[in-house]
Every structure is written in structure tokens, then in C-alpha cells.
Amino acid sequence: MSKALLGFVLGIFITAIYIMNSAGSLMFNEIESPFGVEETAARIQANIQSLAKNGWKLSGLRNPAKAVAFDGGNVMPVLLVEACSTQYSGPILKDSNTQILSLLMPCSIAVYKKDNGKVYVGMMNSGLLGQLFGSKVGSIMKKVEADQKVFVTFDPSKPAPPLIKIKPGGGGAGGNDQGGC
């Protein structure tokens, strides 16, 4: 009996350690980009705009590395491409039980250069995250996950689009202030 209890407790302990060590890699996706930081961000922006039929609009472009540099620090380049789809955010924001998820809006995609000189794209694992909040949010976030795969599909045969410099909070697609999700 004591061996069984010890084995059970040990199993829980090992499982907890595994979850703590792998949670980050489960919740976030990271892919390598064949392009520089700005070109990668511009290509992501163009891909987002190609999904306007799903309600996607650009809502911002942030440069957190610039803020660090302003304070005298030095970090590798980082850009945050922000987008939102009212088609997906609307049902979540209309339900008072899921409004807290507005913390995740707009959808942010990080483009950054690492010490190894390579550029990467980081995103939340929307499909997995959605499952944590029930079937309604889960089904919406599965659609977001499918669209995010399009965001980071790069066609090297196409010329690089220009980087769209949108101030966060400036409304969708840089137009009149519509809230940007």
C-alpha cells in the first residue's frame, strides 16, 4: 500500500515538473523566418490584409526594442504586429463570461532577432488556449489558429511589401479610430 501511494505521489510530482517545463512550448509557437525583421513583419501584415474576408484588420505595429534603447538599453530588434478580427472578437466580447479574454486582443505576433542572428516569429497557440475556455471560445480560437497559419506563410517568390507603420490604438488598417479591437 505504501509503495503504491509513494508511486502515485511520485507520478504526480514528475507530471507537474513536466508540465511546468513544457508549458511555454505548448502555449506559444515559434517559427524561423527566411527574411529580416522588418520584411517578415511586412509580409505578415500583407498576409493579415489578405484575410479581410474573415474580418482581419491591422491595428498596430509596436517596437518595444526602441523603448528599451530610449532608456539606454540595447536589445536585438523586436516588432509586434497587431491585428484583430471583429468576426472573432465580437462573440467573445458580447458574452460577459468571456469578456476577460479582451486581454488577448488584439492578436499580437512577435517578430524578433535572436543572438544567433536568425529571425523568428512568435505567436500564442490560439487553438490550445481556446480549449481552456470552453467549446464556444474553443471553436472561435480554432478559426483564429487557422488564420494565423496563413499570417506566417511566406512566399519568397513574391516581392517584399512595404512595412505599414500603424500606431497602436489608431483603428483598423490605420484609418479612422475604430478602436482596433
Domain residues of the chain, as ranges? 28-174
Residue range 55-86, pLDDT digits in tens? 999 999 999 998 888 888 889 999 999 999 99
State the Cα–Cα distance between residues 125 and 142, nearest whole angstrom: 10
In this model, does residue 21 exceed pLDDT 60? no
Mean pLDDT, range 107-121, rounded to an integer: 97
In this model, does residue 50 exceed pLDDT 50? yes
Give strand ranges (E) for the chain.
28-33, 56-62, 78-85, 107-113, 119-124
Q: Would you state the pLDDT for residue 69?
A: 87
Q: Would you state the pLDDT for residue 172?
A: 46
Lowest mean pLDDT among 3-12, 55-64, 70-79, 109-118: 3-12
CATH numeric code, 28-174: 3.30.310.70
**123 close to 110: Cβ distance less than 8 angstroms:** yes
State the Cα–Cα distance between residues 42 and 34, nearest whole angstrom: 13
- The pair phi, psi for residue 50, each rounded to 5°, is -70, -15
State the Cα–Cα distance between residues 137 and 105, nearest whole angstrom: 13
User: Using only C-alpha atoms, what is the Rg of the chain?
Assistant: 19
Q: Would you state the pLDDT for residue 105?
A: 85
Q: Would you state the pLDDT for residue 164?
A: 94
Cα dist from 65 to 12, 26, 78, 108, 171, whole Å: 40, 26, 6, 15, 23
Q: Which residue has the higher pLDDT, 112 or 5?
A: 112
Q: Would you state the pLDDT for residue 20?
A: 53
**Cis bond leading into 91, ω under 30°?**
no
Mean pLDDT, range 103-130, rounded to an integer: 93
Closest alpha carbon to 91 in 64, 146, 130: 130
